[in-house]
Amino acid sequence: MRSPRKLIGGLGLLAVAGTVAAIGAGPLLVSGADHLDSPLVKIDARVDITDVYAWRTSASTTTLAVNVNPLTSPADTKGARFRQTALYEIKVDTTGDAVADIAYRIKFSNLTRFSDGTNTQTFTVKRAVGAAARRTEWTGTTVAVGRTSRYGGTNRIAAVAGGGIAFAGPRDDPFFFDLVGFKHLKSRVLAGRQDLGTANDATNCALADDDASARLLSCFTGSDTFAGTNVSSIVLKLPNAKLGGTGHTVGIWATTAIQTKSGWQRIDRMGRPAINTVFNITDGEKDLSNLVNPADDRSTMKDTTVAVLNALSAVVVHAGATGYTPAQINAIANVLLPDTLRIKLGSTAGFLNGRKPADDVINAEFSLVTNGALTSDGVNANDKAFLSAFPYLAAPH
């Protein structure tokens, strides 16, 4: 059995990892990583960013991946597609100011449906730099044109001008976490409960989350909430020279926008796993976070981030462990904001250096707030093995 101190460490980190919050419409309709994180993104799953990844694939190349269409069942994956009136962007900050210096933009068109229920679309990738990269618009130099892969079919890969390859199509959701357990934990914290209890306590988990006897860890069972579900993925493998240069640290994030009569309307934004989902409390705060840029994060959401960390620190103290000091809380908030995924190009460093599909971000961020007291939510690997070759993400269920 894990020690109370490690359990408490896990509790604090689960929040920082940000994989939580239920929207109360059924066991799969929950927010994790950034699945279904705000009212705007719930309008159309095709522009709901679930996760962003950036990882070293060789000394001179980096792979970037963005997933949308959360929690897609195998039956629904056949017909899943990208929105053709949407703009998908991967932004790159090369100067450390949380402002985009490079943008890779992807649009989809020419939907073709097949008799077996599958479909393909044309995808076009543009690259923009400088001031143009900071805007949300369909401009830049076309660097790739390809077709999405059909469900159950061969992976179709397009060449990227100047080096690199591109993929778009259905994949297994690589995110893994016992989100149901954490949903109850957060609800119980918000209801004022502070007793830890023990994991997999079915009797205690049966209690309503606001019951005075409800304990925080009871509903963790080690079950991967995302097992058996799929996403729609965009994967780009690019030379480091196109992202800022080997040895250079850059910030990565993704955005989606939809075309309206008055121009492009931002819908979603994500860098690190689920910063918006956990540290913004109200629907309005979550939508605002998606609409602004990373450079605005500390001014718009640092107060709520600090407030959530303070609330969790109170639980830590109640359990007899040492809570965070104000200085530590401020430091953690400054690490998490602005919300960009930082990666040193070409580096083999692991912790907080980009994000690989196989990374257990829950455990990694446990280490961040527990000073190396590693713990686990009980789900330590994806339900399907990742590929050793591009596009690296596992085939869909």
* pLDDT per position as a tens digit, 52-96: 999 999 999 999 999 999 999 999 999 999 999 999 999 999 999
What is d(CA 87, CA 265) in angstroms, rounded to the nearest whole number?
Answer: 9
Reduced to 3 states, what is the DSSP secondary structure of residue 147? strand
**pLDDT at 271 > cutoff 50:** yes
How many other CB atoms are found less than 10 A from the CB of residue 199? Answer: 22
Phi, psi of 278 (to 5 degrees): -95, -45
Q: What is the pLDDT of residue 309?
A: 81
Question: Taking Cα atoms as reference points, which of 98, 148, 388, 126 lies closest to residue 250?
Answer: 98
What is d(CA 48, CA 38) in angstroms, rounded to the nearest whole number?
Answer: 9
Query: 105 falls in which pLDDT band (50, 70, 90)?
Result: very high
Q: What is the pLDDT of residue 26?
A: 30
Q: Per-residue pLDDT averaged across 299-323, rounded?
A: 83
Task: Say if residues 397 and 242 touch (Cβ distance below 8 Å).
Answer: no
Q: What is the pLDDT of residue 202?
A: 96
**Residues 232-246 pLDDT 10s:** 999 999 999 999 999
Q: What is the pLDDT of residue 355?
A: 96
Burial of 263 (0-12, 13-18, 19+ CB in 10 A): exposed
pTM of the model: 0.88
**Residues 336-374 pLDDT 10s:** 999 999 999 999 997 679 999 999 887 776 555 434 434
Query: What are the Cα distances from residue 166, in Å, to 123, 156, 160, 222?
Result: 10, 9, 7, 35
Query: 308 falls in which pLDDT band (50, 70, 90)?
Result: confident
Reduced to 3 states, what is the DSSP secondary structure of residue 12? helix
Q: What is the pLDDT of residue 368?
A: 59
What is d(CA 335, CA 208) in angstroms, rounded to the nearest whole number?
Answer: 35
The DSSP code sequence of 226-290 is: TTT-EEEEEEEEEEGGGTT-TT-EEEEEEEEEEEETTEEEEEEEESSTTHHHHH--SHHHHHHHH
Count Cα neighbours of 354 within 13 Å in the Cβ-side half-sphere. 24
Q: What is the pLDDT of residue 372?
A: 46
Q: Can you state the angle between helices 326-336 and 361-370, rounded to 10 degrees?
A: 150
Q: What is the pLDDT of residue 352?
A: 75
Task: Say if residues 123 and 107 touch (Cβ distance below 8 Å).
Answer: yes
Any idea which residue has 């957060």 for tokens?
Answer: 186
Q: What is the pLDDT of residue 312?
A: 76
- Comparing 196-210, 250-264, 366-380, which segment has the lowest mean pLDDT? 366-380
Mean pLDDT, the chain, as a whole number?
Answer: 86
